[in-house]
Chain A
Amino acid sequence: SQQGEEDPQALSIQEGENATMNCSYKTSINNLQWYRQNSGRGLVHLILIRSNEREKHSGRLRVTLDTSKKSSSLLITASRAADTASYFCATGRGAQKLVFGQGTRLTINP
Protein backbone atom coordinates (compact mmCIF):
# COMPACT_ATOMS: atom_id res chain seq x y z
CA SER A 1 0.00 0.00 0.00
CA GLN A 2 1.15 3.55 -0.68
CA GLN A 3 2.49 5.22 2.43
CA GLY A 4 3.33 8.72 1.26
CA GLU A 5 1.03 10.88 -0.81
CA GLU A 6 2.26 14.18 -2.17
CA ASP A 7 0.14 17.22 -2.74
CA PRO A 8 -0.16 18.89 -5.19
CA GLN A 9 0.52 16.46 -8.02
CA ALA A 10 1.82 19.33 -10.13
CA LEU A 11 2.97 22.85 -9.29
CA SER A 12 4.00 25.64 -11.64
CA ILE A 13 5.48 28.89 -10.31
CA GLN A 14 7.61 31.80 -11.44
CA GLU A 15 11.33 31.87 -10.84
CA GLY A 16 12.13 33.51 -7.54
CA GLU A 17 8.90 32.43 -5.85
CA ASN A 18 8.76 29.85 -3.08
CA ALA A 19 7.48 26.34 -3.74
CA THR A 20 5.72 24.27 -1.10
CA MET A 21 4.94 20.59 -1.42
CA ASN A 22 3.15 18.43 1.11
CA CYS A 23 3.31 14.77 1.99
CA SER A 24 0.89 12.73 4.08
CA TYR A 25 1.41 9.23 5.37
CA LYS A 26 -0.63 6.64 7.18
CA THR A 27 1.39 4.79 9.80
CA SER A 28 4.14 5.51 12.32
CA ILE A 29 7.57 6.18 10.87
CA ASN A 30 11.22 6.36 11.88
CA ASN A 31 12.05 9.05 9.39
CA LEU A 32 10.75 10.87 6.35
CA GLN A 33 12.93 11.73 3.39
CA TRP A 34 12.59 13.93 0.33
CA TYR A 35 14.11 13.06 -3.03
CA ARG A 36 14.39 14.88 -6.31
CA GLN A 37 14.24 13.33 -9.79
CA ASN A 38 15.13 15.11 -12.98
CA SER A 39 13.34 13.74 -16.04
CA GLY A 40 14.61 10.30 -17.01
CA ARG A 41 17.19 10.15 -14.24
CA GLY A 42 17.68 8.44 -10.92
CA LEU A 43 16.54 9.95 -7.64
CA VAL A 44 18.78 12.17 -5.55
CA HIS A 45 18.39 12.43 -1.80
CA LEU A 46 17.65 15.95 -0.56
CA ILE A 47 16.97 15.80 3.14
CA LEU A 48 15.99 13.43 5.94
CA ILE A 49 13.99 14.34 9.02
CA ARG A 50 13.62 11.92 11.91
CA SER A 51 10.39 11.27 13.77
CA ASN A 52 11.61 13.20 16.84
CA GLU A 53 12.45 16.30 14.78
CA ARG A 54 10.01 19.01 13.77
CA GLU A 55 11.98 21.12 11.33
CA LYS A 56 15.16 20.87 9.33
CA HIS A 57 17.00 23.17 6.94
CA SER A 58 19.46 22.55 4.13
CA GLY A 59 20.41 25.50 1.96
CA ARG A 60 17.21 26.73 0.30
CA LEU A 61 15.26 23.72 1.56
CA ARG A 62 13.12 23.66 4.67
CA VAL A 63 11.32 20.52 5.79
CA THR A 64 8.76 20.25 8.55
CA LEU A 65 7.29 17.15 10.10
CA ASP A 66 4.08 16.91 12.11
CA THR A 67 3.77 13.36 13.43
CA SER A 68 0.41 14.10 15.06
CA LYS A 69 -1.03 14.93 11.63
CA LYS A 70 1.18 12.41 9.84
CA SER A 71 2.31 15.05 7.38
CA SER A 72 5.42 16.79 6.13
CA SER A 73 6.11 19.78 3.93
CA LEU A 74 9.04 20.70 1.73
CA LEU A 75 9.64 24.38 1.08
CA ILE A 76 12.04 25.52 -1.63
CA THR A 77 12.79 29.21 -1.30
CA ALA A 78 13.83 31.58 -4.07
CA SER A 79 13.19 28.97 -6.76
CA ARG A 80 15.38 28.67 -9.83
CA ALA A 81 14.75 27.18 -13.25
CA ALA A 82 17.13 24.36 -12.30
CA ASP A 83 14.73 23.33 -9.51
CA THR A 84 12.34 22.02 -12.16
CA ALA A 85 11.98 18.32 -11.33
CA SER A 86 9.75 15.80 -9.61
CA TYR A 87 9.93 15.64 -5.84
CA PHE A 88 9.10 12.53 -3.82
CA CYS A 89 8.65 11.90 -0.14
CA ALA A 90 9.60 8.52 1.27
CA THR A 91 8.94 7.07 4.70
CA GLY A 92 11.19 4.70 6.59
CA ARG A 93 9.62 2.37 9.13
CA GLY A 94 12.56 0.34 10.34
CA ALA A 95 12.17 -2.60 8.00
CA GLN A 96 15.20 -1.51 5.96
CA LYS A 97 13.02 -0.27 3.15
CA LEU A 98 11.33 2.96 2.13
CA VAL A 99 7.86 3.60 0.77
CA PHE A 100 7.67 6.36 -1.83
CA GLY A 101 4.80 8.64 -2.70
CA GLN A 102 3.58 9.48 -6.19
CA GLY A 103 5.52 12.73 -6.38
CA THR A 104 4.96 16.39 -7.16
CA ARG A 105 6.02 17.69 -10.57
CA LEU A 106 7.47 21.14 -10.05
CA THR A 107 7.94 23.53 -12.97
CA ILE A 108 9.78 26.80 -12.50
CA ASN A 109 8.98 29.32 -15.23
CA PRO A 110 11.70 31.85 -16.11
Chain B
Amino acid sequence: SQTIHQWPATLVQPVGSPLSLECTVEGTSNPNLYWYRQAAGRGLQLLFYSVGIGQISSEVPQNLSASRPQDRQFILSSKKLLLSDSGFYLCAWTSSGSTDEQFFGPGTRLTVL
Protein backbone atom coordinates (compact mmCIF):
# COMPACT_ATOMS: atom_id res chain seq x y z
CA SER B 1 0.00 0.00 0.00
CA GLN B 2 1.05 3.57 -0.55
CA THR B 3 2.03 5.93 2.23
CA ILE B 4 3.14 9.53 2.32
CA HIS B 5 5.39 11.06 4.93
CA GLN B 6 6.09 14.65 5.84
CA TRP B 7 8.53 16.06 8.31
CA PRO B 8 8.90 17.81 10.53
CA ALA B 9 5.39 17.87 11.97
CA THR B 10 5.88 21.28 13.53
CA LEU B 11 8.52 23.94 13.07
CA VAL B 12 9.16 27.33 14.63
CA GLN B 13 11.66 29.45 12.74
CA PRO B 14 12.87 33.05 13.02
CA VAL B 15 12.33 35.52 10.21
CA GLY B 16 15.20 35.38 7.74
CA SER B 17 16.15 31.78 8.46
CA PRO B 18 16.16 29.06 5.78
CA LEU B 19 13.52 26.38 5.40
CA SER B 20 13.49 22.81 4.19
CA LEU B 21 10.39 20.64 4.37
CA GLU B 22 10.52 17.12 3.04
CA CYS B 23 7.87 14.83 1.64
CA THR B 24 8.37 11.22 0.59
CA VAL B 25 5.99 8.70 -0.92
CA GLU B 26 6.22 4.93 -0.67
CA GLY B 27 4.57 2.19 -2.64
CA THR B 28 4.10 3.93 -5.96
CA SER B 29 6.22 5.00 -8.92
CA ASN B 30 6.28 8.22 -10.92
CA PRO B 31 3.61 9.97 -8.88
CA ASN B 32 2.50 13.54 -9.40
CA LEU B 33 3.53 15.48 -6.29
CA TYR B 34 2.03 18.64 -4.85
CA TRP B 35 2.80 21.25 -2.18
CA TYR B 36 -0.10 23.21 -0.72
CA ARG B 37 -0.26 25.90 1.94
CA GLN B 38 -3.27 26.40 4.16
CA ALA B 39 -3.79 29.55 6.22
CA ALA B 40 -5.77 29.19 9.44
CA GLY B 41 -9.43 28.47 8.73
CA ARG B 42 -8.91 28.72 4.99
CA GLY B 43 -8.72 26.51 1.94
CA LEU B 44 -5.69 25.08 0.22
CA GLN B 45 -3.47 27.14 -2.02
CA LEU B 46 -1.46 25.14 -4.53
CA LEU B 47 2.18 26.24 -4.39
CA PHE B 48 4.05 23.77 -6.62
CA TYR B 49 3.47 20.54 -8.44
CA SER B 50 5.72 18.09 -10.18
CA VAL B 51 5.04 15.42 -12.78
CA GLY B 52 8.58 13.99 -12.75
CA ILE B 53 12.11 14.25 -11.42
CA GLY B 54 13.43 17.78 -11.83
CA GLN B 55 10.11 19.03 -13.26
CA ILE B 56 8.57 21.74 -11.10
CA SER B 57 5.61 23.97 -11.89
CA SER B 58 5.15 27.04 -9.74
CA GLU B 59 1.62 28.25 -9.18
CA VAL B 60 2.20 31.33 -7.08
CA PRO B 61 5.34 33.49 -7.26
CA GLN B 62 6.64 33.92 -3.74
CA ASN B 63 9.45 33.37 -1.31
CA LEU B 64 9.48 29.58 -1.72
CA SER B 65 10.96 27.04 -4.10
CA ALA B 66 10.52 23.31 -4.65
CA SER B 67 12.72 20.52 -5.87
CA ARG B 68 12.26 16.88 -6.77
CA PRO B 69 15.65 15.20 -6.56
CA GLN B 70 14.22 11.67 -6.61
CA ASP B 71 11.07 10.10 -8.02
CA ARG B 72 9.29 9.95 -4.66
CA GLN B 73 10.85 12.88 -2.85
CA PHE B 74 9.57 16.44 -2.91
CA ILE B 75 11.23 19.26 -1.02
CA LEU B 76 9.94 22.74 -0.21
CA SER B 77 12.58 25.35 0.55
CA SER B 78 13.18 28.96 1.31
CA LYS B 79 16.41 30.90 1.65
CA LYS B 80 14.92 33.53 3.97
CA LEU B 81 11.58 33.06 5.69
CA LEU B 82 9.03 35.86 6.01
CA LEU B 83 6.32 36.22 8.62
CA SER B 84 3.78 35.60 5.87
CA ASP B 85 5.25 32.14 5.25
CA SER B 86 3.59 30.87 8.43
CA GLY B 87 0.94 28.27 7.80
CA PHE B 88 0.10 24.62 7.44
CA TYR B 89 1.99 22.95 4.59
CA LEU B 90 0.57 19.86 2.99
CA CYS B 91 2.15 17.48 0.54
CA ALA B 92 0.01 15.27 -1.67
CA TRP B 93 0.42 12.74 -4.47
CA THR B 94 -1.68 11.26 -7.18
CA SER B 95 -1.13 8.76 -9.94
CA SER B 96 0.72 10.05 -12.97
CA GLY B 97 -1.51 11.82 -15.46
CA SER B 98 -4.47 11.81 -13.11
CA THR B 99 -6.78 14.48 -11.74
CA ASP B 100 -8.48 11.90 -9.58
CA GLU B 101 -8.08 11.37 -5.86
CA GLN B 102 -5.12 13.02 -4.18
CA PHE B 103 -3.55 11.46 -1.10
CA PHE B 104 -2.36 13.87 1.53
CA GLY B 105 0.40 13.73 4.08
CA PRO B 106 -0.12 14.71 7.72
CA GLY B 107 1.17 18.26 7.17
CA THR B 108 3.78 20.55 8.71
CA ARG B 109 2.77 23.45 10.94
CA LEU B 110 5.25 26.28 10.32
CA THR B 111 5.37 29.32 12.56
CA VAL B 112 7.69 32.15 11.61
CA LEU B 113 8.46 34.54 14.45
A48 & B43 in contact (Cβ 8 Å cutoff): no
**Is A70 in the interface zone, CB < 8 Å from B?**
no
B: contact size bracket: 20 to 34
**Interface size range on A against B:** 20 to 34
Say yes or no: B99 contacts A102, CB within 8 Å: no
Hey, which chain B residues are within 8 Å of A103, CB to CB?
A: 42-43
**Cα A11 to Cα B45 with chains together (Å):** 23
Q: Is the CB of A40 within 8 A of B109?
A: yes
Chain B positions within 8 Å of A, measured between CB atoms, are 32, 34, 36, 41-44, 46, 49, 51, 59, 88, 90, 92, 94, 97-107, 109
- The chain A residues found within 8 Å of chain B, CB to CB, are 2, 30-31, 33, 40-45, 48, 88, 90, 92-103, 105
